[in-house]
């Protein structure tokens, strides 16, 4: 029997997004049951945060994606499971599959997979292994019969604008492939968390995709925002066409580059080509969330420690 109890399990609660989702739940649902799912050692590693959760009524539960028994206990009596886990195929495919099985056995009403990206459903296979594995797992969710909601938010501002990233503050450059007038979608982690909570409280989002974006800016507009935030102009560096960008990825792979070194370009190229652009952005459905603009984000991000993070 499906469990409709208003309780929430956040898998990957100790991560950058997971703890923000808990904070957002506490702001809007202080009287409801919230479980922070962490691996056995994570509660100790994040002791201060765990103590704060407990003080606010959050239950910290041991949840190891490799341990079906811990998943069974974590999911028991839960109405909604939100997965904010990160990692490779062993986590995103295998671990989330075990979590899904436990949720189904417990009668969980809704499951939110750890998508949180550009429009991964519109990007061809083989471009981004990290999005490929998310789609591989997502293909298990719909036929399982559980209620689900996919959250898409473009790029995390905190990740895309790490230094150096899309922008190299020291070099004074913004580097791109393709056309500098293609709009790119960005959302801050706090806003992703707030929208996730708003979406799971919306019965119309069951068995659907919810796309939200904190801001949508072209390369030229991003450079202008940076100048307005910091008083410093960026030099736009076009590395070539989108095809040239994929050729660069192949070159990096052939040279034995670490997968994490290739990850930013794997995410950015579908954004720059427009293939990963979000469709049917639902910001207006959730007026309680007032998203952070890219300009406001940059004012905080690049002026910290003289422009360095």
pLDDT at 127 over 70: yes
pLDDT at 143: 97
What residue has token string 């050692």? 41
Task: Please write the tens of the pLDDT for every residue from 13-54.
Answer: 999 999 999 999 999 866 679 999 998 756 566 677 888 888
Beta bridge partners of 137: none
Residues 7-153+188-212+277-288, CATH architecture: 3-Layer(aba) Sandwich (3.40)
Task: Please write the tens of the pLDDT for every residue from 176-226.
Answer: 999 999 999 999 999 999 999 999 999 999 999 999 999 999 999 999 999
Task: Please write the tens of the pLDDT for every residue from 68-103.
Answer: 999 999 999 999 999 999 999 999 999 999 999 999
pLDDT at 307: 43
* Percent of the chain with pLDDT strictly greater than 90: 81
The CA distance from 213 to 244, in Å, is: 28
- On whether the CB atoms of residues 298 and 232 are closer than 8 A, the answer is no
Average model confidence (pLDDT) across the chain: 92
pTM for the model stands at: 0.93
Q: Which residues contact 26 (CB under 8 A, 6 or more apart)?
A: 34, 56, 58
The CA distance from 67 to 37, in Å, is: 13
User: Cis peptide before 76, with omega less than 30 degrees from 0?
Assistant: no
pLDDT at 5: 54
The CA distance from 130 to 85, in Å, is: 13
The CA distance from 18 to 24, in Å, is: 10
Inter-axis angle of helices 68-75 and 96-106, nearest 10: 40
Domain ranges of the chain: 7-153+188-212+277-288
């Amino acid at each position: 029997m499906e469990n409709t109890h208003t309780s929430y399990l956040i898998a990957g609660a100790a991560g950058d997004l997971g703890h923000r989702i808990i904070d957002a739940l506490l702001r809007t649902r202080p009287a409801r049951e919230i479980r922070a799912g962490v691996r056995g050692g994570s509660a100790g590693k994040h002791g201060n945060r765990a103590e704060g959760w407990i003080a606010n009524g959050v239950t910290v539960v041991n949840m190891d994606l490799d341990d079906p028994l811990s998943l069974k206990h974590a999911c028991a009596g839960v109405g909604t499971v939100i997965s904010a886990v990160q990692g490779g195929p062993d986590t995103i495919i295998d671990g989330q599959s075990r979590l899904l099985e436990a949720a189904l056995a417990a009668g969980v009403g809704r499951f939110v997979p750890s998508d949180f990206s550009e429009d991964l459903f519109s990007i061809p296979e083989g471009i981004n292994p990290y999005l490929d594995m998310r789609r591989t797992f997502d293909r298990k969710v719909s036929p399982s019969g559980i209620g689900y909601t996919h959250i898409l938010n473009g790029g995390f501002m905190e990740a895309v604008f790490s230094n150096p990233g899309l922008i190299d503050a020291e070099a004074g450059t913004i580097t791109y492939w393709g056309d500098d007038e293609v709009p790119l979608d960005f959302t801050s982690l706090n806003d992703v968390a707030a929208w996730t909570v708003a979406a799971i409280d919306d019965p119309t989002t069951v068995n659907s995709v919810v796309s939200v974006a904190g801001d949508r800016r072209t390369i030229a507009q991003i450079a202008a925002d940076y100048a307005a935030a910091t008083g410093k102009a960026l030099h736009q560096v076009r590395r070539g066409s989108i095809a040239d960008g994929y050729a660069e990825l192949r070159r990096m792979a052939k040279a034995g580059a670490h997968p994490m070194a290739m990850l930013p370009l794997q995410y950015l190229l579908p954004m720059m080509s427009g293939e990963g652009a979000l469709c049917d952005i639902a910001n207006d459905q959730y007026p309680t969330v007032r998203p952070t603009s890219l300009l406001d984000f940059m004012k905080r991000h690049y002026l910290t420690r003289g422009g360095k993070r």
